Amino acid sequence: MGDLIAYYYFKPREDTTPSRAAEAICEEETTGTWTGISTRQSYIKRLDGVVDEIKPEKEGYIATIRYPGEIFESGNIAQYLSVIAGNLFGLKSLNAVRLLDINIPEELVPFKGPKFGITGVRRLIGTTKRPHVGTIIKPKVGLTPADTAAVAYEAALGGVDLIKDDETLTNQQFCPLHERLQKVMDKLDSARSETGHMVLYAVNVTTRPDKIVEAGQKAIELGANMLMVDVFTAGFGAVQALAEDHSIKVPIHVHRTMHAAFTRNPEHGIAMRPLARLVRMIGGDQLHTGTAGGKMSHISEEVVADNEALKGSFYGLKQTFPVVSGGLHPGLVPNEIKTLGTDIVLQAGGGIHGHPDGTAAGARAMRQAVDATLESIPLHEYAHDHYELERALKQWGVRR
Ligand code: CAP
Ligand code: MG
């Protein structure tokens, strides 16, 4: 059984040496505690963690810690997290500690990964290379089912590939999920008969783990062609239950709301990368990983590597589509593609519905910005004969 290697940035407490601090992480997450104990048996030594390396980094250090594979229950993500991201964050001997990344041995990846992955989602839409363009229904909550469907219809006419519920919209009384879903799918069918273009609608089935498969099955029965789950509020187990169920034959869009509670601070918490690896393992077909220049705080060089964790080779698992979202508008598209490549879903809510000529025009402007970028034509030049893009650039400029 291979070992799991974890990388932590940390700052020792003033009265603690770096090696003592790193040892404290190791002990706490494997076989130790704060003091010697009489109950330890010699055979347990094989389960002791090991500090492989400590090196200075910025205001602190990076420790490479080797966890014996045997301390993990293969396939139990919750237990993995209890080790690699458990009590250690509260240790007094550390002033700050951040889990940066993990190398997982194949024996600890008994998962099937995404059912569709990038290739499968592209096949549904009929693309091979270009970035997908998505929108989020806005206002994020409050619209009736009929008005939600009307917004979706306009976005589809404008050329989006994906429409999603916002992360806080599920099955509230003002917009019951089944009614919303049926109305949106009817409108997307109408749009498709006019445009010939397939559009995915990620309906947000976020709910408790013991009910989410049933919620997904019911949504598919009503015509859903994609499901959405908020992984950090619903739990990894909810996403895994949905993704691994054979009856769920549509892709799963994974939103990461709440992530910034632990990913944002560059000195303390959990970086997005190890979390992205776990979401890919349990079967997320698409996952938000941030923008190069949008509204959310981000460490953009991390986003590039986070997306690589979703797309790089990983024991034969399919790739997860990185979703670029948060304050995006057409003027930001070139920089996103330049920084993050074309295997991305560019998702804009306000950047489409806030267009001066409405949602369909906003969607067209996003598609035009993508086309201009792929043809290496500066946006302002391309806008000369693309009215919707011209209007968007006038409103928001080319780069924030
Ligand atoms: C974007 C969004 C997404 C955020 C999530 C929002 O809307 O719908 O949830 O992008 O951030 O609610 O803010 P706008 P991340 O396009 O109108 O900003 O992708 O970093 O998880
Ligand atoms: Mg949102």
Residue 334: its H or E element: helix 333-340
Would you kindly state where each structural domain of the chain is located, as residue ranges? 4-108, 117-396
Q: Is 327 in the pocket of ligand 1 (CB under 6 A)?
A: yes
At residue 307, does pLDDT exceed 60?
yes
pLDDT at 131: 98
Q: Are 221 and 183 in contact (CB under 8 A)?
A: no
Non-local CB neighbours of 127 within 8 Å, separated by 6+ positions: 161
pLDDT over 70 percentage in the chain: 98
Is residue 255 annotated as a catalytic residue, yes or no?
yes
d(CA 308, CA 302): 10
pLDDT bracket for residue 47 (50, 70, 90): very high
Does 231 sit in the ligand 1 pocket, CB within 6 Å?
no
Banded pLDDT at 393 (limits 50, 70, 90): very high
Residue 400, pLDDT > 60, answer no
DSSP designation for 319: P
Say yes or no: domain 4-108 is CATH 3.30.70.150.
Answer: yes
Calculate mean pLDDT across residues 351-361.
Answer: 98
pLDDT at position 264, please? 94
State in Å, rounded, how far the first CA of the chain is from the last one: 49
- Signed CA dihedral, 66, 265, 275, 77: sign only: positive
Q: How far is the CA of 127 from the centre of ligand 2 (A)?
A: 25
**Per-residue DSSP letter, 344:** S
Topology agreement, domain 4-108 and domain 117-396: no
112 is catalytic: no
* CATH architecture observed for domain 117-396: Alpha-Beta Barrel (3.20)
Query: What does the pLDDT average to over 326-338?
Result: 97
pLDDT per position as a tens digit, 261-280? 999 999 999 999 999 999 99
Strands (E), the chain: 4-12, 50-57, 60-67, 94-103, 132-136, 162-164, 200-204, 226-230, 252-255, 269-270, 286-288, 321-325, 345-348
Question: From the CB of 290, is ligand 1 less than 6 Å away?
Answer: yes
Nearest atom in ligand 1 to the alpha carbon of residue 323 is 19
pLDDT score for 298: 64
Summarised one tens digit per residue, pLDDT across range 75-89 is 999 999 999 999 999
Q: Which residues pair with 60 in a beta bridge?
A: 57
378: pLDDT confidence band, cut at 50, 70 and 90?
very high
Residue 350's pLDDT is what? 98
Index of the ligand 1 atom closest to the CA of residue 135: 16
**Whose alpha carbon is nearest atom 19 of ligand 1?**
325
Question: What is the value of pTM for the model shown?
Answer: 0.97
Q: What is the pLDDT of residues 187-203, one digit of tens each?
A: 999 999 999 999 999 99
pLDDT of residue 156: 98
Under the banding of pLDDT at 50, 70 and 90, the label for residue 299 is low
Distance (Å, rounded) from C-alpha 66 to C-alpha 83? 12
pLDDT at 313: 97
- Dihedrals φ, ψ of 359, to 5°? -65, -45
Average pLDDT, the chain: 97
User: What is d(CA 140, CA 119) in angstroms, rounded to the nearest whole number?
Assistant: 29
For residue 301, the model assigns a pLDDT of 75
- Predicted local confidence at residue 295, as pLDDT: 72
**Stretch 165-172: mean pLDDT:** 98
For 102-126, what is each residue's pLDDT tens digit? 999 999 999 999 999 999 999 999 9
Burial of 102 (0-12, 13-18, 19+ CB in 10 A): buried
Q: What is the pLDDT of residues 58-75, one digit of tens each?
A: 999 999 999 999 999 999
Q: Which residues pair with 203 in a beta bridge?
A: 227
pLDDT at 296: 72
